[in-house]
């Protein structure tokens, strides 16, 4: 596949009838070159769109992050994991896995395994991120990201032995959830400016 470059400038075209999870509406259309690239790769008609933050909003789960919004992410815009957690998991697995099975957009080092599960707040340069909840995992981590071939059970089966809702929330009825990583939100620039003025 050829290299696809997407400019950071706002697209001029708008696509209608876009849907993601429970949300539907219009979004910026990234153009014909991007549409052809994804259509060729996926072998089905596709278009690349960008969430229009200027006119659209999509709230995060109010029980966990009231007042926060996200775009096309499942529920929260950031998920942090650590290399130490992956390394520990790989010492148990028969076949080690790569971090792309879990798809964090922030990967940290120099912490204890699963230490990120306890973080309420982290700061990267001038960006402040708030921990929201542990990231419950679906079956997607069982899929090899290079080949697209799923494993029957791993690494979910191994994680279920020590980091499930049964282990972490013994006072609640277990629902067979397993966790890896922590969902996070960050303060918007406008919020940070307001906070800085009040200090």
Q: Is the pLDDT of residue 189 over 90?
A: no
Nearest to 179 by CA among 138, 143, 140: 138
d(CA 60, CA 131): 13
Say if pTM beats, i.e. exceeds, 0.75. Answer: yes
The radius of gyration of the chain's CA atoms, rounded to the nearest angstrom, is: 19
| Structure confidence at residue 30 (pLDDT) | 97
**Tell me: the pLDDT tens digits for 1-47?**
899 999 999 999 999 999 988 889 999 999 999 999 999 999 999 99
The predicted pLDDT at position 193 comes to 47
For residue 199, the model assigns a pLDDT of 35
Domain ranges for the chain: 10-56, 58-198
**Residues paired with 13 in a beta bridge:** 29
More confident residue, 61 or 90: 90
Q: Is residue 101 scored above 80 in pLDDT?
A: yes
């Amino acid at each position: 596949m050829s290299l696809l470059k997407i400019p950071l400038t706002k697209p001029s075209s708008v696509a209608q009838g876009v849907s993601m999870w429970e949300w539907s509406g219009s979004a910026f259309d990234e153009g014909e070159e991007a549409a052809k690239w994804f259509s060729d790769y996926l072998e089905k008609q596709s278009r690349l769109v960008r969430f229009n933050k200027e006119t659209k909003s999509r709230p995060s789960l109010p029980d966990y992050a009231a007042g926060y919004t996200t775009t096309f992410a499942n529920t929260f815009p950031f998920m942090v994991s650590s290399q130490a957690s992956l390394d520990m998991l790989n010492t148990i697995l028969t076949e080690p896995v790569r971090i792309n099975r879990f798809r964090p957009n922030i990967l940290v080092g120099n912490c204890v395994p699963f230490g990120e599960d306890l973080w309420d707040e982290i700061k990267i340069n001038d960006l402040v991120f708030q921990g929201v909840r542990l990231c419950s995992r679906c079956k997607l981590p069982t899929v090899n990201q290079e080949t697209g071939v799923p494993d029957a059970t791993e690494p979910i089966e191994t994680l279920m032995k020590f980091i499930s809702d049964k282990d972490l929330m013994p006072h609640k009825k277990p629902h067979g959830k397993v966790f890896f990583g922590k969902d996070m939100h960050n303060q918007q620039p406008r919020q940070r400016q307001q906070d800085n003025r009040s200090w």
